[in-house]
Amino acid sequence: MKVAVASLGTVPEALVGIRFGACSQFLVFDLDTMLYVVVSVPPHLQPEEHVSLEAIRAVARQDVSAVITGAIKDTCRRTLEELGIDVVSGVQGMTVIEAIERYKATRLAAPESRQGPIVRIAVAASGEGIDARLDAGFGGCTSFTIVNPQTKEWDVVRVEHGAAAHAVNLDGVRAVVRSGAGVVITPQLSAGCCMALQALAVAAYMAPAGITVREAIELYERGELEEMGAAN
């Protein structure tokens, strides 16, 4: 049996995609072997309903029995079900592999089994609010906008920088961790900060400088930001 999971990344540790039509890739698992393939949905400068059709075609070609996703439009759900594909929606706050493991155990039948802890997102921004612009980089950032991706509610965490230059980056790491964010979006990040964030289970993604916090969140939700590792 094969199951497709909408994903914000290309590895099982990526978070489940928030919206079916905006997802750039699916991870298709064979539940017998737990091997998986990444199925990409090419980006389109088209209305979301056209992209949704591309996503439906992409998973249907994989001969899957079920699709796991966050939100999904009723028209997409009906189309998938007419193709004989079960739809499990409302899955939030968990990784792809967690969703697969829960599906194997319970088919994610109970609504409460589809909810993981909300992963808040810290965006390195100058100014306050969802329309603030991304700052020049993580190290010198004086504040982070902390966003709930489900509700788009936000608050601001200030960074109190120490006098020593080498301490500045660590001040940013501490601020993010204290905020409870599980994801950081920034235009620039040093290898040392990336390693520190990874060690504290915070994923880091790169976004263009100058875009708004809202735009950065939308790119993240569509899986179009590059996740950074220490090697990058």
Q: What is the pLDDT of residue 44?
A: 53
How far apart, in whole angstroms, are the C-alpha atoms of residue 76 and residue 22? 12
- Domain boundaries defined on the chain: 2-114, 121-228
Query: Facing residues of 203 across strands?
Result: 183
- pLDDT surpassing 70 at residue 47: no
* Tens of pLDDT, residues 53-83: 999 999 999 999 999 999 899 999 999 999 9
Q: What is the pLDDT of residue 159?
A: 87
Say how many Å lie between the first and final Cα of the chain, rounded: 36
Q: Domain 2-114: which topology?
A: Nucleotidyltransferase; domain 5 (3.30.420)
Phi then psi for 44, rounded to 5 degrees?
-130, 140
Q: Does domain 121-228 have CATH number 3.30.420.130?
A: yes
What percentage of the chain has pLDDT greater than the value 70? 91
Q: pLDDT band at 86, cuts 50/70/90?
A: very high
- pLDDT surpassing 70 at residue 229: no
- Answer for the pair 195, 122: CB distance below 8 angstroms, yes or no: no
Q: What is the pLDDT of residue 162?
A: 61
Q: What is the pLDDT of residue 4?
A: 98
Q: Is 125 helix (H, G, I), strand (E, B) or coil?
A: strand
Q: pLDDT band at 31, cuts 50/70/90?
A: very high
* Tens of pLDDT, residues 156-214: 999 876 655 555 568 889 899 889 898 999 999 988 888 888 878 788 999 999 999 99
Closest listed residue to residue 222, CA positions, set 59, 62, 15:
15
- Answer for the pair 189, 205: CB distance below 8 angstroms, yes or no: no
Q: pLDDT band at 46, cuts 50/70/90?
A: low
Single-letter amino acid code for the residue at 157: V
Question: CATH topology of 2-114 equal to that of 121-228?
Answer: yes
Mean pLDDT of 17-37: 92
Q: What is the pLDDT of residue 135?
A: 79
Neighbours of 6 (CB within 10 A): 31
The Cα-based distances of 161 to 7, 109, 169, 199, 202 in angstroms read: 36, 47, 8, 21, 20
Strands 121-126 and 154-158, sheet pairing = unpaired
* Tens of pLDDT, residues 89-126: 999 888 899 999 999 999 999 999 999 988 899 999 98
* DSSP-derived secondary structure for 33-46: T--EEEEE----SS
Closest listed residue to residue 3, CA positions, set 26, 22, 25, 20:
26
Q: What is the pLDDT of residue 9?
A: 78
Neighbours of 123 (CB within 10 A): 31
- Answer for the pair 41, 23: CB distance below 8 angstroms, yes or no: yes
Residue ranges in 27-117 assigned as alpha helix (H)? 48-60, 74-82, 96-106
Burial level of 156, CB count in 10 A (0-12/13-18/19+)?
Answer: middle
Degrees to nearest 5, angle at CA 29 with 13 and 222: 55
How far apart, in whole angstroms, are the C-alpha atoms of residue 7 and residue 14? 6
Q: What is the pLDDT of residue 223?
A: 79
Strands 143-147 and 121-126, sheet pairing = antiparallel
